[in-house]
Amino acid sequence: PPLNMETRWFENHVAYTMSKFGMSMCVLGMAGEFKGLGIGVNALWPRTTIATAAIANIVGGKEMMRRSRKPSIMGDAAHWILTQDSKSTTGNFFIDDDVLLGSGLTDLSDYAVEPGVELMPDFFL
Active site positions, annotated: 16
Cα–Cα distance, 57 to 61 (Å, whole number) = 6
Q: How many CB atoms lie within 10 A of CB 28?
A: 16
* CA-to-CA separations, 26 to 8, 19, 87, in angstroms, rounded: 23, 10, 17
Within 8 A by CB and 6+ apart from 71, the residues are 50, 51, 52
Question: Residue 94's beta-bridge partner residues?
Answer: 44
